[in-house]
Structures are given as C-alpha cells and as structure tokens.
Amino acid sequence: MVYVALISYTPDPERTIAAAARVSASPAGASQLMQKLTPQAVDRLLTRLISSGHLSVFEHASFTFAIEGISRVTSHQLVRHRMASYTQQSQRYVSLKDFDYITPATIGAKHDLKARYQEMVHAAHSLYLEMLDAGIPAEDARYVLPQAGETKLVMTMNARELIHVCALRLCLRAQWEIVELFEKVKAEVERVAPRLGAELKPKCYRLGYCDEAVSCGIFPTAAEIAERKTKELTSGKG
C-alpha cells in the first residue's frame, strides 16, 4: 500500500517561484520582491507562467517525500525520471527478515490465482531466508525475490519536474501503481501549495487531446478529433 509523506520542502514555494519570475523582467532584486508580492499577485503570475510555458522558474521550489510500500517494479520505473534525487533502501545492505509485497488488483480479484501468487511469493522469500542462513550474501540471495517486493525511498523533485512527471504518470495509460503513487504525491503538494498542486495533472488536460494510441475516455485522440471534423463537414454538406 503506497505511503507518501512530504517530509521537507522549500518554504512558501509559490511565492519563491513568483519572486524569481519577477526578477527576470524587473529592475528590483529578489529579496525585495519576496516581500512585496501579495497572494493574489503570486496566483496571477503562476497562471501566466504556466499558460506561456515559462516553466524554468518552477525549479526554484523543491519537495522531499518519504515513499514506502511501492514494489520494485514501480521504483524501477520511478528512478527513470532523472531530474530528481533518490535514496533507496538497499537490498545489498538490508536483509529482509519480513517480506512485504504488492498484489496487483487483477490478480487479487481471482481467488485461486491470488492464493497461488501469495504461496509463490512466500516460497521465494523462504528460500531467500534459507540462503542467508547458508551464508549466501543478501545481495545475491535477493535474485530469487519477486519484483512485487516492497521498497522504501526518499525522493526530492522540484516543481517543474513534478509538473512534467505528473503529466506522464497521472495518465491512466501509466501503470496503476505509479498512478497511485503520484496521486498521493499530488495530494501532499496540494496541502501546502494548492495553486501548484492544481497543475499536477495528466498531459491530456494540457494538450486538449490524448496522444496515446487508445484514449482512456477523458479526451479523444488527435485522430478521433480529425475524424469528427471530417464527419461534421460531410454531414453539413448533405
């Protein structure tokens, strides 16, 4: 079960972003601008920055999360986002006496398969423990462990990258576990920075269409939009 806690972040993140943005087109310096900006001005400025794609200023605010209860399947996907910092629990240096793991809902829904899935995971973990007892190092014994195994990590990501990653990972075509992870990341950000949190959304909301091969239904694909237009033109003629 995914657990996400925001353990640290740039204080007053939206104002920090707004003050930085103002420096670009103002004769005043940032210290001064930090004080003068009203909440309304911050809000208006963030809206304008996003609609015009001036996203680099969003790098000035960053967020550090404690993440637990995700599978190694998902942590492997997660760390592919390179514009962030990760520190992950090591399977080389930590021996896993207990083995927490994820059961995908599709498997959980089939009673018989679920039982056999759980047995298999437990059997693999038992062999892992036995190998440790036989003197196999943890770093080697772990090869037998299923990818379902849970991991813990600390992740720091700036607001620009959060916008980018959420665009990809809140898309319902992403795998369900990483969608859940970023829904919780979004909730944590929204708690302390509501304006920014509102911008953490799937890419289709920004594009106005779905750029995947098959749409989840929220927005039509570009091909479907083109088809509709053709139909409208044709039916208009008749």
Q: How many residues does the chain have?
A: 238
The reply on whether position 57 binds its own copies by CB under 8 A is: yes
The reply on whether position 72 binds its own copies by CB under 8 A is: yes
Give the x-and-dash track for 11-40 against its own copies (CB under 8 A).
xx---x--xxx-xxxxx-xxx--x------
Site for its own copies in 159-188 (CB under 8 A): 175
| Strand extents, DSSP E, 51-130 | 62-71, 84-88
Q: Which is nearer to its own copies, 149 or 197 (CB)?
A: 149
> In Å, what is the CA distance from 72 to each residue of 117, 137, 207?
17, 19, 31
Say which amino acid occupies 159: A
CA distance 190 to 7: 14
The reply on whether position 211 binds its own copies by CB under 8 A is: yes
The reply on whether position 232 binds its own copies by CB under 8 A is: no
Listing DSSP states for 80-101 in one string gives: T--SEEEEE--TTT---SS--B
Give yes or no: 82 in active site.
Answer: no
The reply on whether position 224 binds its own copies by CB under 8 A is: no
Applying CB under 8 A, the site for its own copies has a residue count of 95
Residue from 75, 166, 197, 199 in contact with its own copies (CB under 8 A)? 75
Name the minimum Å distance from CB 137 to its own copies.
6
Give the x-and-dash track for 86-115 against its own copies (CB under 8 A).
xxxxxxxxx--x---xxxx-xx--x--x--
CA distance 19 to 83: 23
Residue 6: its H or E element: strand 3-9
The reply on whether position 192 binds its own copies by CB under 8 A is: no
Count of beta carbons in the 10 Å neighbourhood of residue 99: 17
Name the minimum Å distance from CB 231 to its own copies.
19
| Strand extents, DSSP E, 150-237 | 150-158
Give the x-and-dash track for 112-151 against its own copies (CB under 8 A).
-x--xx--xx-xx--x--xx--x-xx-xxxxxxxxxxx--
Tell me the sheet residues that pair with 155: 65, 86
Count of beta carbons in the 10 Å neighbourhood of residue 217: 8
The reply on whether position 47 binds its own copies by CB under 8 A is: no
Q: Which residues have a catalytic role annotated?
A: 169
